[in-house]
A and B are shown apart, each in its own frame.
Chain A
Amino acid sequence: MKEGWEVIIGMEIHAQLATETKIFCGCATSFGHDPNTNTCPVCLGLPGALPVLNEKVVELGAKAALALGLEVQETSIFSRKNYFYPDLPKGYQISQYDKPFSANGILTIMTAERDEHGRAKEFKPMQIRIERMHLEEDAGKNVHEGLPDVDKFSYIDLNRAGTPLGEIVTKADFRSSWQAYDYVNHVRRALQWVGASDADMEKGNLRCEANVSVRKIGETGFRNKVELKNLNSVRFMQKAIEYEIERQIEAHESGEGVNQETRLWDEKNNKTRVMRSKEDAHDYRYFPEPDLQPLVVSSEFIAKIKSEMPELPDAMRDRFMQEYGLSFADASQLVLEKDLAAFYETTAKASGNPRVSANFILSELIRELNNAGKTATESPLSAENLAELIKTLDAGKINNNQAKEVLVEMFNSGKTADAVIKEKGFEQISDTSAIEKIVDEIIANNENQVTAYRGGNEKLFGFFVGQVMKASQGKANPKVVNEILKSKL
């Protein structure tokens, strides 16, 4: 960013709550059905139909709120947001306004600036104030392509209408695009972690908007802000914010100024463009939805949800560091995904060697998973089998390189460590009598070296080890070899 300027960013995230049915009717929320088939009088907005709140939405909403450090409000009120658009069947969206479902969140995220290659510098904790997360229904979709006579007609698909959303709104606490980037990733993972949302941006079940303005460092007021939309990935969002920072600073410096408006990220041309100006802004005429009672959430309900909540990633990361002696970086990487963290913990406990478990998972297993396009739960190599492998390694039956090779084979074949080690003939010889026999032969066949060693050339010890290993085709347990060689020599 240009010297002397700072950016102020507030984020809005719409997350689809992972319910089977819609927020106010019993229609399915699943994707990929023929247009307008997952619909009923309620989500079609037919005359006389009334909304009935889906209780599962309250449950997942509460989980999402708690995962983001928000307080679930005892009483919240649904309100109507009124505007006309063909994909909005009732002419209003049922949302929440002055009494949201949850509020007053403080969320600690880990964030880092990135170098020009996008590599993170040091991650540091940062507190974000989350103003609220309210519940609302999604609209349908207008379809302008892929159907007959699209030059003359627009089509409407209302399958999505009534899908439950949580809208998460922060204070304008971000001072860089990477902070916003790390925040969205944090939220995404938190929602997935507690099962509140699939939070997949590509599938559109997590959408974010950024409110961006810039000001001179030292200024206390705010300049006009721009709302950025069409941010279809976290990376696009970060790029859009960067673009907008430069554009706004330039516009201020040239005296042209910045209009308060909504802009879209144009991913083809790597720039933002105007969608609508402030003059076109709607007056949504919010008022309490008279068709629904106030939503009252009891403290017992919240207590129950809390008791069902899994350990959250940050807490788990800290515990891994403390309990298993992992580094911040390793622990952070393991808790990137809930399944991976669980896989790690099973492995660590079963193997009794948490650090080696972390090393094998973070270097070897993740590589194999990525190559195979699989997640930790889909891993053909189970945590228990990996633990067996680590135990075998610790017992000195195989060496580190062999263990890595065995891991790959276990991953590919799904076989146990023992089976692969046998197949590969990696089993180390620890039987002292067998090794003694080899050592005796080596000593007998290398009289000169023995004499020299005994004469004080201790460097030759390595030569004898090498010879024994060679003779045993690498299978002799090096520890045992060392011991026997020392006593015999």
Chain B
Amino acid sequence: MSIKSTIEKVIENAEKLNPTLNSFLSIEREYALNRAEELDQNQDDLALKGFAIAIKDNICTEGMQTTCGSKILHNYKAHYDSTAASRLKEAGAIIIGKANMDEFAMGSSNESSAFGICRNPWDTERVPGGSSGGSAVAVASGVVRASLGSETGGSVRQPASLCGIVGFKPTYGRISRFGLVAFASSLDNIGIFGQTSEDVAKVLSVIAGRDKNDTTSADVAVPNYISELSNEISGKKIGVPRALFGEGLDADVKNAVEQSIENYRKLGAEIVDVELPHAQYGIAVYYIIATAEASSNLARFDGVRYGFRAEGSHSLRENYYKTREEGFGAEVKRRIMLGTYVLSSGYYDAYYSKAQKVRNLIRQDYINAFEKCDVILTPTSPTTAFKIGEKSDDPISMYLSDIYTVSANLAAIPGISVPCGLSNEGLPIGLQLVGKHWAESTLLNMANVYEKEFPLNAKPPIFVG
């Protein structure tokens, strides 16, 4: 079968499902088919030749819209390719569209998108999680095998969990951030969704590695993640921080994750208790650091040079106010205000500076814990997919969706969410593994084994392919 006919089918599926799920903000039919034709003529052996991929709409793709799910970047087209996108293109992958997301990646439900909510294919009355909801749904609904998302506090792992797929966050610095529109620069990562860990490994092998355009990308050797899927985990030590399995955790989720621990034991892993004494401060620290950086990163959206500009202003200052008032949604404005506050003169030491200190303690917690184990296992999300609108008026409850995921971003370590069962309501549940810095292979291998031995055989009611 030609690449073109494969891609034709992918595009058709995307177009067919999008009115229901709204996982794509744009579908690049013409571009994708042209590219497929080119690749059909191409004799080179490319790592991802003809591989269809969806990309979150905050990752720059030259000539394609890159809206960040925000009115302030409505119709904005990127002038250049992010490093991740250009490496995918070079490897023969075909970008088929840009995925829906919470506005500027701020949210855990995809409800803050300025371009409509995205729906969970397991139950369209429920959210897919966020902020990379669209990227998760594009994979969960079977349109693509893999997609790029981004995460600042769990925005890949949490929706993967809620949609029953694999969601992966690398070590900070493993994948270049060049071209990822910044939310909180010290926490942002490009992440990968896959139907399997192998899909993730394929994509990661292509996009990982030092990039001279991002000085925070690390010069650490990139292994062949596919060949490192050894299927052997016996003797691996899994740390379980029991203290985190308490309040706020759904019984179904708890049971499924406990079962997965047993399953790993059966596969030959050793289970050890670990402690993460500062984990309880993760959300607080996260919402100080992330909002502080966001308040600065989002300053460039001022209506002066590109994007949305409010009409009817009579002065520069009024133009700033009106543009940002009308162009940003409520959650984004809430976070800009929070971040501006914590950086303000007189408050910096009490908030930002202190949060950085606690961040170091959290990071140190993991370093200590990893002396006793190879990976740490927890739930990915305390709940399964919640109803659309259920938490949108309660930011704190929404923020707690990320309670298990934010720490990995704060500690800059890699993490992965793997499906580990369904709730009584038939909604997917994910287990999370986090690992040592640069130990992506270990995570992918442990996830891969689990998927093969304990596959989630169910598919969502809305599924193509």
Given contacts A89-B305, A91-B299, A285-B296, contact A290 B179 (CB under 8 A): no
Given contacts A89-B305, A91-B302, contact A48 B181 (CB under 8 A): yes
- For window 47-73 of B, CB contacts with A under 8 Å fall at 58-60, 66, 68, 73
The main secondary structure of chain B at its interface with chain A is loop
- For window 296-352 of B, CB contacts with A under 8 Å fall at 296, 298-300, 302, 304-306, 316, 320, 340, 343-345, 348, 352
Task: Write the nearest CB–CB distance from A117 to chain B, whole angstroms.
Answer: 46
Task: Write the nearest CB–CB distance from A393 to chain B, whole angstroms.
Answer: 61
- 6 smallest CB-CB distances across A and B, nearest first, come from A91-B299, A285-B343, A290-B185, A290-B186, A47-B181, A48-B179
Contacts of B60 in A (CB 8 A): 47-48
Q: Which residue of B lies closest to A82 (CB)?
A: B296
In angstroms, Cα B99 to Cα A287, docked, is: 32
Check A41–B80 contact: CB distance below 8 A. yes
Beyond the given A91-B300, A291-B215, could you list 15 further A-B residue pairs with CB under 8 A, ordered by the A residue number?
A46-B79, A47-B76, A48-B60, A48-B78, A48-B179, A48-B180, A50-B213, A52-B212, A52-B213, A52-B215, A82-B295, A90-B299, A283-B344, A287-B352, A290-B293
The main secondary structure of chain A at its interface with chain B is loop
Q: Which of A52, A91, A283, A293 has the most CB of B within 10 A?
A: A91
Contacts of B293 in A (CB 8 A): 287, 290
- For window 52-108 of A, CB contacts with B under 8 Å fall at 52-53, 80, 82, 84, 86, 89-92
Q: Return the CB mask of B172-195 against A: 1 if under 8 Å, else 0.
A: 000001111110111000000000
Contacts of A293 in B (CB 8 A): 215-216
Q: Does A49 contact B (CB under 8 A)?
A: yes
Q: Does A45 contact B (CB under 8 A)?
A: yes
Name the one of A53, A90, A287 contacting B300, with C-beta atoms under 8 angstroms.
A90
Contacts of B274 in A (CB 8 A): none
Task: Write the nearest CB–CB distance from A48 to chain B, whole angstroms.
Answer: 4
Q: Does B96 contact A (CB under 8 A)?
A: no
* A-B contact list, 6 entries, CB within 8 Å: A50-B177, A52-B215, A285-B296, A287-B296, A292-B216, A293-B216
Contacts of B186 in A (CB 8 A): 290
Given contacts A90-B300, A91-B300, contact A285 B79 (CB under 8 A): no
Q: Which residue of A lies closest to B324 (CB)?
A: A84
Contacts of B348 in A (CB 8 A): 285-287
In angstroms, Cα B296 to Cα A286, docked, is: 10
Contacts of A90 in B (CB 8 A): 299-300
Given contacts A50-B178, A89-B305, A156-B305, contact A82 B185 (CB under 8 A): no
Q: Which residue of A lies closest to B214 (CB)?
A: A50
Contacts of A51 in B (CB 8 A): 215
Check B292–A287 contact: CB distance below 8 A. yes
Number of A interface residues in the complex (CB < 8 A): 28
Task: Write the nearest CB–CB distance from B354 to chain A, whole angstroms.
Answer: 13
Check B344–A285 contact: CB distance below 8 A. yes
Q: Which of A50, A51, A52, A292 has the most CB of B within 10 A?
A: A50
Contacts of B66 in A (CB 8 A): 47-48
Task: Write the nearest CB–CB distance from B220 to chain A, whole angstroms.
Answer: 14
Q: Does A44 contact B (CB under 8 A)?
A: yes
Name the one of B78, B216, B320, B352 contacting A47, with C-beta atoms under 8 angstroms.
B78
In angstroms, Cα B307 to Cα A44, docked, is: 13
Q: Does B82 contact A (CB under 8 A)?
A: yes
Contacts of A285 in B (CB 8 A): 295-296, 340, 343-345, 348
Contacts of B298 in A (CB 8 A): 91
Task: Write the nearest CB–CB distance from A62 to chain B, whole angstroms.
Answer: 19
Contacts of B59 in A (CB 8 A): 48
In angstroms, Cα B80 to Cα A50, docked, is: 12
Task: Write the nearest CB–CB distance from A160 to chain B, whole angstroms.
Answer: 15
- For window 8-65 of A, CB contacts with B under 8 Å fall at 41, 44-53
- For window 89-146 of B, CB contacts with A under 8 Å fall at none
Contacts of A45 in B (CB 8 A): 300, 305
Given contacts A48-B180, A50-B214, contact A41 B79 (CB under 8 A): yes
Check A156–B304 contact: CB distance below 8 A. yes
Check B185–A291 contact: CB distance below 8 A. yes
